[in-house]
Structures are given as structure tokens and as C-alpha cells.
Amino acid sequence: MPTLEATPFPYEFDIDHIALICIDMQRDFCLPGGFAESLGNDLSNIQPCIKVIADLQAAFRKAGLPIIHTKECHKPDLSDLPTAKRNRGNPKIKIGDMGPMGRILIDGEEGSDFILDNAPLEGELVISKPGKDAFYDTILHEYLMKRNISNLVITGVTTEVCVQTTMRCANDRGYDCLLVEDGTDSFFPEFKEVTLRALTAQGGIVGWTAPSKRVLDLLAAL
């Protein structure tokens, strides 16, 4: 069984039961004119993980391993969008409003789609999720069970919001999760640092973390 040096202790997995999850690498979060920028966020803080995720996607594809892409978005009629979420943060442009890339965070609009660097290939699962948790009101758990997936390598944005939420909810469902340290970023670097520490505290109470190089080197050696 492959073993990866990780925090807080080595991460073991069966290569036949592992998948890569890429969380919310969308234009609305990563590019100018999107929802993230409307909240006043500095987009430069999340740029470093983009290439790392692209490298991991290439390695998983070469190894023939499953990749799952999530995107946070809502139905055009906003029926799955709580009023409290739409108003939270007092954004310049609210979810559902028209922005430079179409309606903000609405499924099917240009802004809700993936950035080219991390876009899914045909056959890779895309999960449209209405919340921060990729398991909430989606088919993710059923898909993973059907594929007999027990281990998740997690990447994406932002570390302390959708990434952390999904990892915690995966842990509650029995999945062993490894968060790639340089494969995730936050608009607030200090939040990322604290989140990494919190997830691996108390003997890995939520899961493991490791740099991408260790994951890439292990996959290349298999």
C-alpha cells in the first residue's frame, strides 16, 4: 500500500480507491469581474495554487485515476439560494445579479464555469453545489460509494471556506482526506495557515496535509 509522508503522520492509501477533488476553480472566484472581486478580495492571493492543481490533474489523468470538479453555483430562479446568503457580505454585486461574466454564481453562466487552467476533461465528474459543502444536495457521496473511493486528495479554493467544509464533511462520512498544502489558497493567507493547523491537530482530527511534490513524486513512481 503506497505511503506518503504527511502531517501529522504518514498517509496510506490504496491506489484503486483514491480520487482527486478540485474545489471551485471558477472564474467567479479566480478572475477579475467575478463574485470574489465584488467582495473586495485580492485575487493575487489565490493564484499560486492554480498551476499546482493543473500539475496534479495531469498526474492523476496519466495514472488513470478519477478527478472530481466542484463549482458553487445556483439555479437561475434562485430557488436554492437563501436570502441570508445573497445578502451576506454586503457585496457590490449580489449572487444572481448581472456581472461582467454573466449572472454572478448562476449555473450555466460564464462566470460560474471553470478557469481554463483547471477545467475538467470529458468524462470527469462535475458537481454543481449550492453550498460550501460538496456533499450537500449533490450526488458526490453516491458517486464515491459506487466507485469504491475511500481516500480523497483535496485541492481548491478557498482553504477556510469550501475546502475546509468539504473536508470536514468527508471526514464525517468516513473518507480519509489529504489536503494538498500548496494546492489550496485563501484570499487571507493567515486563514489558510490556521486552517491547515486546525485540520491536522489532535492527531489528524480531520485529516492529513502534504505538499504537492510528495503526491506527484509518489504517483510518478507507481
Task: Indicate which residues carry an active-site annotation.
Answer: 24, 129, 162
Q: Which residues contact 63 (CB under 8 A, 6 or more apart)?
A: 15, 219, 222
Tell me if 215 sits within 8 A of 19, measured CB to CB.
no
Asked if 184 and 22 count as a contact pair (C-beta separation under 8 A), the reply is: no
Q: Which residues pair with 102 in a beta bridge?
A: 99, 100
CA gap 130, 89 in Å, rounded: 17
The answer for residues whose C-beta is within 8 angstroms of residue 139's C-beta and 6 or more apart is 127
48-62 helix and 212-221 helix, angle to the nearest 10 degrees? 20
CA 159 and chain centroid, separation:
8
Cis bond upstream, residue 130 (ω within 30): no
Chain centre distance of CA 182: 12
Show the cell assigned to 122.
Answer: 470529458
The residues, any chain, with a CB within 8 Å of residue 218's CB and separated by 6 or more, are: 2, 4
